[in-house]
Amino acid sequence: MTDIPWWSNAIFYQIYPRSFADSDGDGVGDLGGILVRLDHLSMLGVDAIWLNPVMVSPMADHGYDVADPRDIDPLFGGLSELDRLVEAAHARGIKVTMDLVPNHTSAAHPWFRSALSTGPGSPQRQRYIFRDGRDGGTTPPNNWVSVFGGPAWTRVTEPDGTPGQWYLHLFDSQQPDLNWDNPAVFEDLETTLRFWLDRGVDGFRIDVAHGMAKPVGLPDMINPGIEMLNADDEDPRFNHDGVHRIHRGIRSVLDDYPHAVSIGEIWVFDNEDFAKYLRPDELHMGFNFRLVRTEFIAADIRNAIANSLAAAALAQASPTWTLSNHDVEREVTRYGGGTRGLDRARAMALVMLALPGAVFLYNGEELGLPNVDLPDDVLQDPVWERSGHTERGRDGCRVPMPWSGSAPPFGFSANPDTWLPMPTDWTPLTVAAQIEDPTSTLSFFRAALKLRRSTFRFTDRDVQWLPSDADVLVFLSGGVLCVLNAGPDSIPLPRHEVLAGSSPLVDGELPPDAAVWLRGS
Ligand code: NOJ
Ligand code: MG
C-alpha cells in the first residue's frame, strides 16, 4: 500500500496563529510561538499543521484579507520565521500546510489600490469585479449580500472625486473579489503556489474553493436572506461551473510537487456537485461540513457520516472530518455546554477518529475548550459590525489557548493584554493542568490519536454499520468497533476488548453521551 499518499488518513492540526502562542509579548500569537510549542504537537501525535493565513495583511478579517500573498506579516514574524517553522516541523516529521486565499485580496493589495486610482475601464480594474450601479449609479449592480452581512457591493469615489462604480466583495468591503476571467489572476496565483511550494510547504487549504468563478451577468440572488452555514446550492454567488477550470489550473501546478496536498473549503451540499471538485485533476480533498452541522442525534450523525463517505466515494477521494474550526461555535458549546457538552464532544471525537480519511482538529479542541461569551466592546470579527450588531461573529471560538498557570494569559503570552481576553476560570483547562492527568481531555485525545495510528487498518474508505437501537450507533471501521450512545440510558456492550472510551464505563455499560472503541474481532 505504498501508493497511499501521506494525507489520506492523516491528522491535521489547525492552528489559528493569533491564538496559539505569542513569542514576542504583543498579545497576539505568532510563528515564533508555534516554534516554541512544537513539543505539544509531537506529544499529541499529529501528522500535519494547517496554518490559517499568515501572509501580509491589514487584518480586517485576521489574515483572510491578503495584501501580499508572497510574504509573511511582521506581526507573525516575517518570512524567515516561516522558513524556521517549516524546517523545525519537518525535523519532527510534521508537515506544514498553509491557507491560500484566491477568491479575493485585501483592499490594501497594490492591485486594488491601482484599480481605484486608474478609474473605470482601466486594465487595472479588470482584475476585480467593478460594475456601474443601477438607478443612475446609486444602487448596487445586483442584490447580492455579503456573507458577513450587508450588501456585497461598495461604491467607490473615482479619481476625479465623484461617486463612481461599485466593486464586489462576497465578504468584508476590505476583501474585494478577484475577476477570475482575467488570465493575470491565475498567473499570479501560480507564482504564489510555486513560491511557497519551493520553500518546502506541503500544500494548501484553499479558502472559498467553491467561490472564485462568477456567473455571466451576475444574476440576482433568489433568496438574499441566506446564512453561511445554511448555504443553498442555488446561490449564484458560489459553485459556478467555471470554478472547475480554476481548480484544474491549480492542480496542474501542484502536480509538479507530488508531496503537496490541496484541501478545498467547499460549502456545497449536493453530493454530485461536491464530488466534482475532487475529480482526479482538481482538488485532492474537500472539507465536508456535514458533521459540523449535525446535532447530537444518532440518526443524524449516521446520515452525516454516510453522506460524507458517499460524496468522497463518488470521486474516489479521501473523506475528510472535522467537528470545529475558526468559523463555528466550539463543539463543547454546540452540544449543550458544561459537563454534558464536553462528554458529547469527546464521544464525537472518538466517532470521528474512528473514520477512514483525513481528520482536522482545531487548536484547543484537544483541551475541551468551550466557546467564550465575550463582551461587546472586545469583539473584532467584521461580522459584528456588518450585521449591524445582530450577529456576534466568530471571536468566541478564537480565544487564545491556555498553556499553564492559574490566571490569564495562562502562559499564552508574557502580556496580560491578549488580543481577545481569556476567561479567568480556565485554570483546569490549561495544557499543564491536563498533561499529567490520565482522565483529562488532552490525555484522551493523545491516547486516541496513538491508537488510531497503531490499531486501525484503513484498507478501504468505508465503514460497516451494525444493527443497533435508534439512539445508538455501531460501526466497524479499520478493524475497530465503535459504539456511540446518544440515548438517555446506559447500554450493555458486546464482550470485546475495550481499546478506548470517551467516558468511563459504568458497571461494564456505556453511559449516555459516550463512545467506546472495541477490538473488532
Ligand atoms: C472562509 C474562512 O474560513 C473565513 O474565516 C473567512 O472569513 C472567509 N473564508 C473569507 O476569506
Ligand atoms: Mg506576538
What's the 398 CA to ligand 2 centre distance in angstroms? 15
Q: Which residues pair with 11 in a beta bridge?
A: 359
pLDDT score for 1: 42
Spatial CB neighbours of 170, under 8 Å, sequence gap ≥ 6: 103, 104, 144, 146, 147, 152, 177, 208, 211, 237
- At residue 232, the pLDDT reads 67
Would you state the pLDDT for residue 224?
82
How confident is the model at residue 54, as a pLDDT? 98
Which residue's alpha carbon is at the smallest distance from atom 5 of ligand 1?
327
Pocket of ligand 1 (CB under 6 A): 61, 64, 101, 171, 207-208, 265, 326-327
Classify residue 367 by its DSSP letter. Answer: G
What integer pLDDT is reported at residue 264 of this predicted model? 98
**Burial class for 376, CB neighbours closer than 10 Å (0-12, 13-18, 19+):** exposed
Give residue 274's pLDDT. Answer: 96
Distance 64 CA to ligand 1 centre (A): 6
Cell of 113: 489600490
Which listed ligand is nearest to 23 at the C-alpha?
2
pLDDT at 223: 81
Cell numbers of 32, please? Answer: 515564533
d(CA 211, CA 135): 28
Q: Tens digit of pLDDT per residue, the chain (521 long)?
A: 457 899 999 999 999 999 999 999 999 999 999 999 999 999 999 999 999 999 999 999 999 999 999 999 999 999 999 999 999 999 999 999 999 999 999 999 999 999 999 999 999 999 999 999 999 999 999 999 999 999 999 999 999 999 999 999 999 999 999 999 999 999 999 999 999 999 999 999 999 999 999 999 999 998 887 665 455 667 999 999 999 999 999 999 999 999 999 999 999 989 999 999 999 999 999 998 999 999 999 999 999 999 999 999 999 999 999 999 999 999 999 999 999 999 999 999 999 999 999 999 999 999 999 999 999 999 999 999 999 999 999 999 999 999 999 999 999 999 999 999 999 999 999 999 999 999 999 999 999 999 999 999 999 899 999 999 999 999 999 999 999 999 999 999 999 999 999 999 999 999 999 999 999 97
Please state at what angle helix 338-353 crosses helix 441-455, rounded to 10 degrees: 10
CA R_g for the chain: 23
